[in-house]
Amino acid sequence: MSVFNRRARLAAALLPLLMLAGCGGHKPERIAVNENQSVVMDAPVLSAGVVADRPDVSRSGLYPTARARVSYGQESRPLTLHYRFLWYDAKGLDILPHEQARSVTLQPGQEIVLQTRSGDDRAQQVRLYLYL
């Protein structure tokens, strides 16, 4: 076996180890929950004419509360909307277990406020997920 072949094999064996070593550097302090993605809607929700405000988080006492205003357009029939609030801690990590999904039936032209309270005192950020 030539010197070139041995070096090529050695390089091929060491390359994955060097790549892994490079991944051990600086770790972010937190995973940011993008404020532009604090409301996530499936495409059918958007096309049905549902509009939702970004959830507002307030804290009175130990546990935070999230509220979001949701309105339904001037469609011709009621719409059953399913939703779930997802809570995150200060580092942006999921707080488990996730809340159960809930449903509400919206009448054409109706505006409501969806609300939830976290059962975990670490909760600081929230995302609202809407689907049909």
So what's the pLDDT on residue 3? 52
3-state secondary structure of 105: strand
So what's the pLDDT on residue 100? 95
**Run means of pLDDT, 10 residues per run, the chain, 132 residues:** 56 50 53 76 95 95 96 92 96 94 97 97 96 97
So what's the pLDDT on residue 74? 80
- Please work out, in degrees rounded to the nearest 5, the angle formed at the alpha carbon of residue 25 by the alpha carbons of 23 and 27: 100
One-letter amino acid of 17? L
Q: Which domains does the chain have, with CATH numbers?
A: 35-131 (2.60.40.3230)
Asked if 65 and 57 touch (Cβ cutoff 8 Å), the reply is: yes
Beta 39-41 vs 125-131: how paired, if at all? parallel
So what's the pLDDT on residue 21? 47
Q: What is the pTM of this model?
A: 0.74
